[in-house]
Amino acid sequence: MILFDGVCNLCSGAVRFIVDRDRDAVFRFASLQSEAGEKLLRDYGIEPAKGDPDTIVLIDRGRAFVRSTAALHIARRLGGVYKILFWLGVLWPRFLRDFVYDFVARHRYRWFGKKDSCMVPTPELRARFL
């Protein structure tokens, strides 16, 4: 399960990127702003953001990963060349990875824009969204 900022253009683009490469359809999605997303955050002990969300969350096999660690684990699950990115990424200390992640997260609306409402999945993808 991937929880993402549903109004962020960068995040919505990342979801489309993942969907296009997730050949086995293992990932499910929910926006962080949705009731389902907020419930999952609370279930995993993550406080929902006050205001705009600033992270991506991966819930995998009973564990929750956030920020750069979530992104790396998503890459690992996609397999192929993306799995190599996981192994290269984990060589970097988490505080450095998260520093870069946080920098992009702070500027993402300015650089990529923001929607007025959450991303609406296409009919063929609706089953993969909560």
User: pLDDT for 20-57, tens place per residue?
Assistant: 999 889 999 999 988 999 999 999 999 887 767 788 99
Residue 80 in domain: yes
**Residues in the chain, pLDDT under 50:** none
- Report how many domains make up the chain: 1
What is the enclosing helix (H) or strand (E) of 104?
A: helix 94-112
* Whole-angstrom distance, CA of residue 56 vs CA of residue 7: 13
Residue 10 in domain: yes
pTM: 0.88
Contact indicator for 106, 10 with CB cutoff of 8 Å: no
Residue 112 in domain: yes
Note down the domain range covering 91: 2-117
